[in-house]
Amino acid sequence: MTATSGAAGSSPVGPDVVRLRDLLGVPVDLELLQLALTHRSYAYEHGGIRHNERLEFLGDSILGQAVTVKLFRDYPELDEGELAKRRASLVSTVALAEIGRHIGLGVFLRLGKGEEQTGGRGKSSILADTVEAVIGATYLSAGADAATDLVLRLVAPLLVDPARFGAAMDPKTSLQELAASLTLGNPAYRITEAGPDHDKTFHATVVLQGEDIATGTGTSKKTAEMSAALDAWTRLSGRTTGA
């Protein structure tokens, strides 16, 4: 499809969208990919054009199926309960946001001015939703096999790093254990919030021995704390940032 306005319903597809497609390594339609990057805040500020929430809905289903099949096949020794825990970890907002950061997704987002000013490019909820939307766009463009392949490539770093996998499953506990092993004491969390009551964003900062270690954002205090805890665990463990 040519790089013109269409599925995204607004401006022509820019070179940044082409760059992301090359980065992903999948033959996703450029207009659908641009739509996947279009947050509702941008859509509302540009005359109510289409945004990515329908693609997100589709991508969530594809993500869940691909991860479920992968875990079922690769871990025959695990029972249903353990498989469910691992799947929940891999499809969580925290894990998907880390995937988004790992591939540099934030710079490609189409955000409204309000989201831009409040750090929307780094918000876990927005990054996670956009990852799902990109998966949905890939499915519609290139089919189920290409979408599944993309999912497996995105989650692969977690699966090959058992320690980080465990941290993603329960980042606050993992951080507490790591901090104790490094004789840093118990982590504390400082929470701030912004936005109207119906659309609040929470910011969490991990504090160890009076020093700010890492931050995270989310649509709830719990999600923000989990995001900050995983970032702190990543830094303290010496691993590179990203899922």
Condensed to tens digits (0 to 9), the pLDDT of residues 172-203 reads 988 999 999 999 999 999 999 988 887 788 89
- Residue 208 is classified by DSSP as E
The question of whether 60 is a catalytic residue gets the answer yes
- Residue 92 structure tokens: 């969580």
**Which residue among the candidates 60, 98, 115, 231 is catalytic per the annotation?**
60
Taking 50 as the threshold, does the pLDDT of residue 32 lie above it?
yes
Taking 80 as the threshold, does the pLDDT of residue 158 lie above it?
no
Q: Are 218 and 226 in contact (CB under 8 A)?
A: yes
Q: Are 107 and 126 in contact (CB under 8 A)?
A: no
- Annotated binding site for Mg(2+): which residue ranges? 56, 129, 132
Q: Which of 47, 43, 37, 44 is nearest to 16 (CA)?
A: 37
Listed range (34-43, 141-150, 191-200) with the worst mean pLDDT: 191-200
**How far is Cα 193 from Cα 220, in angstroms, rounded to an integer?**
9
**Which residue among the candidates 31, 98, 132, 225 is catalytic per the annotation?**
132
Taking 80 as the threshold, does the pLDDT of residue 87 lie above it?
yes
Please give the model's pTM, rounded to 2 decimal places: 0.74
Taking 80 as the threshold, does the pLDDT of residue 208 lie above it?
yes
Q: Which of 62, 69, 23 is nearest to 143 (CA)?
A: 62
Strand, coil or helix: what is 123?
A: coil
The question of whether 132 is a catalytic residue gets the answer yes
pLDDT value of position 1:
35
- Annotated binding site: which residue ranges? 56, 129, 132
